[in-house]
């Protein structure tokens, strides 16, 4: 890791951490139902949506009602997205005459986008019509993100309210998230991205007569270069901000039309953790003690920084096997050096490795370099961040409610150690909360590891692998970790657009999303019904450095104990092989 | 209660689809058309009334007279209708073989040049469409291009300089040389007014 790499990491962290307080405070106002003056302009839109949808925003819901509304909404969205893909050949805005998407791929993509995973089983520019990209993928990018944030808001109300049977109104939370948070931020980002060269057009693909008419290997002169276009900027903005990650183009944010310059890269990279990090402050603010939010943000950042460093350093170190071939991998003012396979010149090492860590810390899953071609340890970093259950910033809303599950477990364990009644934010943590937290924490590792085991044991699973040796196993492990934790990035060499993987990964995404969101809502309902316990000398403070490190310890321990054996078979084995060969 | 909620679910999917799936992207498209028309349409490059490529999308070059771009893993190379990386893992024998072949191809084209090859010249880009190469890769190839065109090395390096983009604010990303624009520039050298 050299000085340039270090500086880029520092700038990256500084900018999004600086945005946490202002954005977090703004979001707290929105979810408390007070619209700040700066955003009143959008109020007619909010009211119009309530009227169109038939929503009474002040109607309160029990946790069951809230969960039912969320599930019904997701089911309707899933069906709409499936239908749109299957019928796209009969609908307008399809200038390239794309055929209907296959049933299994449509199913996978519909679940993937409704669950905020945005696993990219499809190749954007070769599969999807402009209408599907806009009316299907862009829409789900907004609403799945808003849905995650709504569950978060409901959980906070569970802590704040006393002896209450209700936790808010799902429709109001979801619509407010779209109207006041996601839509304005996306519009600004989309225009900034177009200024950098991200395409935003409804014209058909361009045809260019190339400069050099070099004959190909069969002696054929090349046809024209077909240049895929489309309404990309509007989708990319929300795909980054909503921790979605499904690309407009197959190569995702490595594609020059999706991410053309170092500045566009920086904006996209900041966007992908922005809201998730700022929600920590929202949490503290709504809970009436901002220190609680800072403590969770600190815990996340403490886990993030060493993994960020490991990722950048491993990629900058390059591939030892190249040295003998006469390749110059040194970092110098004239070149980034390091492991450039699968990376773009304009991003080099630092911007690619920071992105890889950020996109997997936040459950975004967009990529600007091909993770499959990372060095073994460089590829272990994104995998590990996913396998820590996406609580290091995590998905918008889902990352924070995941972290709060860990905080509940941490409070409980600390209480057991010192013999105090466990309390968090003034609410007693009892057996029901612990059951819900345990389910929420254990579901996604179970899906990831069981899915990996099934795929590695089946011929249909092994057939998708593209790299030999332990790296092939890493491809499978990455795919199931990514889907079960709703990340969506991939070791993309895996041929996952098959009925086998579309179905199995679809199920992993489904369980990984709802079997965390439902226990969280159940916990919110149970907490809201409780009385608040006044703070006393016996209360364990949950904003101190001691608690932060204890929480970090719990997150790392659960993740490491669960996944270490699998990681040892994949990236760690490959690292030892590579190191042995290189020396 | 649930039938009513189901009805709201359907209505809100429709209403939000209208807002975020049609109004929003079409408004951005309109705004982009007004503010940045060339960029919104793909930064296309025109010569003599024809589109010859995009400033942001690389093209394959094989002649020693041209600068070559990054190796591309798409089929065929630089297929801007189907972007992709190689997804070869770091210990894959296929990767090492491909890199060794690329090193040899560069050496064959310029046998006198014995210094190590910059890594970006022998590794496939993430998109398969990378429009740029590193400064080191441009300098490495400048000897070959100058010899093949009968130009002075200084003139070729001056052209490289004209198409070099630095880091943003001197910090973010990495510098790069736009290969297609550089090659177009070289073809225009000595033909005043050709641009």
Q: Which residue of B has its CA nearest to A473?
A: B89
Domain boundaries, chain B: 2-37, 43-188
Provide the pLDDT confidence category of residue B125 given band limits of 50, 70 and 90: very high
Question: Which A positions 185-204 lie with beta carbon below 8 A of chain B?
Answer: 186-187, 190-191, 194-203
pLDDT digits (tens, 9 = 90+) for B30-42: 999 999 999 999 9
- Cis, peptide link before residue A406, omega less than 30° from 0: no
Query: Cβ A250–B17 below 8 Å, yes or no?
Result: no
Q: Residue A419 — pLDDT band, cuts 50, 70, 90?
A: confident
Q: Tell me, what's the pLDDT at B112?
A: 86
- If you average pLDDT over residues B85-106, what whole number do you get? 94
Mean pLDDT of A38-57: 95
Q: How far is A65 from chain B (nearest CA, A)?
A: 8
Q: Is 60 exceeded by the pLDDT of residue A411?
A: yes
Residue of A382, A467, A98 whose CA lies nearest to B95:
A467
The predicted pLDDT at position B114 comes to 87
The residue extents of the domains of chain A are 3-205+228-299, 398-548
| Nearest chain A residue to B58, by CA | A256
Q: Is the pLDDT of residue A220 over 90?
A: no
- Say whether pLDDT at B72 is over 80: yes
B136 to chain A: nearest residue by CA? A334
pLDDT value for A84: 95
Cβ-based neighbours of A297, under 8 Å, separated by 6 or more: A17, A20, A277, A280, A281
Q: Which whole number is the average pLDDT over B165-190?
A: 90
Given A134, A251, A319, which is nearest B25 (Cβ)? A134
DSSP A384-408: HHHHTTTTTTTSTTHHHHHHHHHHH
Residue of chain B nearest A252, judged by CA positions: B127
Å between A416 CA and nearest CA of chain B:
41
Residue of B nearest to A220 (CA): B76
Q: Average pLDDT in the B160-181 region?
A: 94
What's the mean per-residue pLDDT of chain A? Answer: 93
- Collect all residues of chain B within an 8 Å Cβ-Cβ radius of residue A367: 126
Task: List, for residues A75-94, the tens digit of each pLDDT value.
Answer: 999 999 999 999 999 999 99
* Per-residue confidence (pLDDT) for residue A296, from 0 to 100: 96
| pLDDT surpasses 70 at A583 | no
Q: In terms of Cα–Cα distance, which of A29, A33, A27 is closest to A57?
A: A33
In Å, how far is A181's CA from the nearest CA of chain B?
Answer: 13
Specify the higher pLDDT residue, A230 or A583: A230
Cβ separation A255–B129 shorter than 8 A:
yes
CB contact under 8 A, A250 and B84: yes
Contacting A residues, span 325-384, partner chain B, CB-CB under 8 Å: 325-329, 332-352, 367-370, 372-376
Q: A212 and B52: CB-CB below 8 Å?
A: no
Task: Provide mean pLDDT across the span B49-78.
Answer: 93
Q: Quote the mean pLDDT of chain B.
A: 92
Residue A217 is predicted with a pLDDT of 59
Give the distance from residue B183's alpha carbon to the nearest chain A alpha carbon, in angstroms: 9
Which residue in A64, A134, A69 sits closest to A519, CA to CA? Answer: A64
Those residues with Cβ within 8 angstroms of residue A136's Cβ, 6 or more apart along the chain or in another chain: A80, A81, A84, A85, A113, A128, B21
Q: What is the pLDDT of residues A4-38, one digit of tens each?
A: 899 999 999 999 999 999 999 999 999 999 999 98
| pTM to 2 decimal places | 0.94
Whether residues B57 and A326 touch (CB distance < 8 A) is answered with no
Let me know if A583 is exposed, middle or buried by CB neighbors in 10 A (0-12, 13-18, 19+): exposed
Cβ contacts from A onto B, under 8 A: 407
Q: Is A457 on the interface with B (CB under 8 A)?
A: no
Mean pLDDT to the nearest integer, A119-145: 91
The per-residue pLDDT for A48 is 96
User: What distance in Å separates residue A307's CA from the closest CA in chain B?
Assistant: 20
Contacts of B37 in chain A (CB under 8 A): none
- The beta-carbon neighbor of B54 closest among A195, A227, A334 is A227
Mutate to test the interface with B, among A344, A369, A375, A577 (most CBs of B within 10 A): A344
3-state secondary structure of A227: strand
Asked if residues A284 and A290 have their Cβ atoms less than 8 Å apart, the reply is: yes
Name the residue among A382, A314, A384 with its Cα closest to residue A556. A384
- How distant is the Cα of B144 from the closest Cα of chain A, in angstroms? 17
Amino acid A1: pLDDT: 72
* Chain mean position to CA A76: 22
Q: B194 pLDDT exceeds 60?
A: no
* Nearest-angstrom CA–CA distance, A279 and A293: 8
Predicted confidence at residue B1, as pLDDT, reads: 64
Closest CA in chain A for residue B11: A53
Which pLDDT band holds residue A580 (cuts at 50, 70, 90)? confident
Mean pLDDT of B85-98: 94
CB-based contact, A52 to chain B, within 8 Å = yes
Contact yes or no for B53 and A136 at CB 8 A: no
Closest partner CB to A212 (pick from B35, B61, B165): B61
Asked casually if ipTM beats, i.e. exceeds, 0.85, the reply is yes
Q: Is pLDDT at A216 greater than 70 in this prediction?
A: no
Helix or strand run (H / E) with residue A241: helix A233-241
Residue A515 confidence (pLDDT) = 85
Dist. CA B154–CA A43, nearest whole Å = 62
**How close does chain B come to A258, measured CA to CA in Å?**
10
Confidence at A448, pLDDT banded by 50, 70, 90? very high
Q: Under an 8 A CB cutoff, do A493 and B80 touch?
A: no
B91, B128, B186: best to mutate for the A interface, most A CBs within 10 A: B91
pLDDT band at A538 (very low <50, low <70, confident <90, very high): confident
Asked if A55 and B76 come within 8 Å (Cβ–Cβ), the reply is no
- What average pLDDT does range A198-214 have in this prediction? 89
Q: Is the minimum CB–CB distance between A128 and chain B shorter than 8 Å? A: no
CA atoms within 13 A on the CB side of A366: 32
Q: What is the pLDDT of residues A247-294, one digit of tens each?
A: 899 999 999 999 999 999 999 999 999 999 999 999 999 999 999 999
A206 Cβ under 8 Å from any chain B Cβ: yes
Query: Quick one: which of A442, A443, A446, A424 has its CA closest to A433?
Result: A424
Q: H or E segment at B194?
A: none
* Residue A308 pLDDT grade (very low, low, confident, very high; cuts 50, 70, 90): very high
The answer to whether B28 and A234 are in contact (CB under 8 A) is yes
Residue carrying the six token digits 């905020």: A116
Q: Is the pLDDT of residue A492 over 90?
A: no
8 Å CB contact of A577 and B91: yes
Average pLDDT, integer, range B97-120: 93
Interface test with B, best of A335, A338, A348, A572 (most B CBs within 10 A): A335
Query: At A136, is the pLDDT very low, low, confident or very high (cuts 50, 70, 90)?
Result: very high
Nearest-CB residue to A327 (from B76, B99, B126): B99
pLDDT given for residue A219 in this prediction: 62
A245: left (phi over 0), alpha (psi -120 to 50) or beta: left
Across the range A427-453, mean pLDDT stands at 94
Q: Is the confidence at residue A196, as pLDDT, over 80? A: yes
The answer, yes or no, to whether residue B48 has pLDDT greater than 90, is no
Provide the pLDDT confidence category of residue A214 given band limits of 50, 70 and 90: low
* pLDDT for position B193: 42
Terminal-residue alpha carbon distance, chain A = 20
Residue A243 pLDDT greater than 70, yes or no: yes
Give A-chain residues touching B165 at CB under 8 angstroms: 261, 346
Per CB-CB distance under 8 Å, the chain A contacts of B49 are: none
Residue linked to tokens 């270090």: A6
Cβ contact A373–B139 (<8 Å): no
- Backbone dihedral angles phi then psi of residue B60, each to the nearest 5 degrees: -75, 135
Cβ within 8 Å, pair A125-B11? no
Task: State the pLDDT at residue B113.
Answer: 87
Per-residue pLDDT at B192: 45
Distance CA B77, CA A216 (A): 9
Residue A207's pLDDT band (cuts 50, 70, 90): very high
Question: Residue A442: how many CA atoms within 13 Å on its side-chain side?
Answer: 7
| Rounded average pLDDT over A365-388 | 95
pLDDT more than 70, % of chain A: 98
Q: Provide mean pLDDT across the span A511-540.
A: 91
Mean pLDDT of A526-539: 90
């Amino acid at each position: 890791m050299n000085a340039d790499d270090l500086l880029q990491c520092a700038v990256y962290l500084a900018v999004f951490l600086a945005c946490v307080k202002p954005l977090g405070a703004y979001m707290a106002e929105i979810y408390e139902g007070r619209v700040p003056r700066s955003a009143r302009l959008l109020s007619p839109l909010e009211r119009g949506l309530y009227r169109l949808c038939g929503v009474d925003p002040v109607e309160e819901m029990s946790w069951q009602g809230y969960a039912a509304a969320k599930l019904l909404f997701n089911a309707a969205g899933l069906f709409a997205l499936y239908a749109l893909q299957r019928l796209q050949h009969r609908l307008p805005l399809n200038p390239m005459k794309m055929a209907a998407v296959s049933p299994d791929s449509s199913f996978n993509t519909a679940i993937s986008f409704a669950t905020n995973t945005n696993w990219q089983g499809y190749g954007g520019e070769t599969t999807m019509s402009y209408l599907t990209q806009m009316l299907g993928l862009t829409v789900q990018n907004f609403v799945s993100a808003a849905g995650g944030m709504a569950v978060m808001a409901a959980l906070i109300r569970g802590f704040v309210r006393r002896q209450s049977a209700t936790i808010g109104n799902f429709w109001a939370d979801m619509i407010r998230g779209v109207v006041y948070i996601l839509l304005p931020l996306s519009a600004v980002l989309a225009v900034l991205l177009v200024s950098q060269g991200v395409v935003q057009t409804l014209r058909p693909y361009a045809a260019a007569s190339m400069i050099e008419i070099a004959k190909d290997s069969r002696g054929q002169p090349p046809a024209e270069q077909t240049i895929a276009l489309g309404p990309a900027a509007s989708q990319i903005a929300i795909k980054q901000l909503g921790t979605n990650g499904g690309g407009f183009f197959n190569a995702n944010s490595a594609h020059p039309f999706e991410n053309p310059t170092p500045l566009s890269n920086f904006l996209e990279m900041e966007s992908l953790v922005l809201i998730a990090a700022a929600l920590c402050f929202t949490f503290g603010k709504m809970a009436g003690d901002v220190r609680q939010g800072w403590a969770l943000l600190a815990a996340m950042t403490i886990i993030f920084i060493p993994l960020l460093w490991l990722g950048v350093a491993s990629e900058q170190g390059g591939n030892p096997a190249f040295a003998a071939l006469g390749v110059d991998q040194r970092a110098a003012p004239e070149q980034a050096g390091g492991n450039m396979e699968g990376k773009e010149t304009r991003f080099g090492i630092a911007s690619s490795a920071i992105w890889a860590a950020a996109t997997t810390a936040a459950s975004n899953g967009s990529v600007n370099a091909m993770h499959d071609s990372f060095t073994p340890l460089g590829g272990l970093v994104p995998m590990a961040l996913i396998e820590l259950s996406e609580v290091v910033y995590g998905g918008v809303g889902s990352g924070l409610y995941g972290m709060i599950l860990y905080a509940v477990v941490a409070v409980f364990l600390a209480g057991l150690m010192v013999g105090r009644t466990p309390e968090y934010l003034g609410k007693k943590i009892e057996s029901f909360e612990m059951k819900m937290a345990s389910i929420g924490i254990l579901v996604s590792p179970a899906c990831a590891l069981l899915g990996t085991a099934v795929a590695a044991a089946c011929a249909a699973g092994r057939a998708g692998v593209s790299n030999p040796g332990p790296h092939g196993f890493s491809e499978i492990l990455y795919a199931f970790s990514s889907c079960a934790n709703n990340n969506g990035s991939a070791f993309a060499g895996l041929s996952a657009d098959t009925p086998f993987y579309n179905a199995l990964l679809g199920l992993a995404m489904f369980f990984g999303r709802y079997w965390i969101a439902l226990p969280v809502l159940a916990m919110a309902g149970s907490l809201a019904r409780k009385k608040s316990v006044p703070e006393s000398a016996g209360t364990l403070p949950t904003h101190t450095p001691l608690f932060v490190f204890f929480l970090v310890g719990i997150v790392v321990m659960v993740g490491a104990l669960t996944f270490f054996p699998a990681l040892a078979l994949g990236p760690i084995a490959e690292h030892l092989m590579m190191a042995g060969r290189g020396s | 209660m649930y039938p009513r909620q189901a009805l709201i679910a359907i209505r809100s999917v429709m209403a939000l689809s209208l807002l975020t799936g049609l109004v929003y992207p079409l408004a951005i498209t309109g705004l982009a058309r007004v503010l940045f028309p060339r960029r919104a349409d793909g930064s296309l490059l025109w010569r003599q009334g024809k589109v010859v490529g995009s400033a942001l999308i690389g093209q394959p070059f094989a002649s020693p007279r041209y600068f070559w771009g990054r190796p591309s893993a798409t089929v065929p190379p630089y297929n801007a209708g189907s972007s992709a990386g190689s997804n070869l893992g770091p210990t894959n024998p296929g990767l090492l073989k491909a890199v060794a072949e690329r090193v040899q191809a560069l050496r064959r084209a310029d046998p006198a040049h014995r210094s190590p090859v910059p890594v970006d010249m022998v590794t496939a880009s993430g998109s398969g469409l990378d429009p740029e190469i590193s400064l080191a890769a441009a300098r490495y190839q400048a000897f070959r291009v100058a010899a093949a065109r009968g130009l002075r090395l200084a003139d070729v390096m001056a052209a490289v300089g004209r198409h070099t983009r630095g880091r943003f604010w001197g910090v973010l990303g990495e510098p790069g040389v736009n290969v297609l624009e550089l090659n177009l520039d070289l073809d225009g050298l000595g033909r005043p007014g050709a641009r």
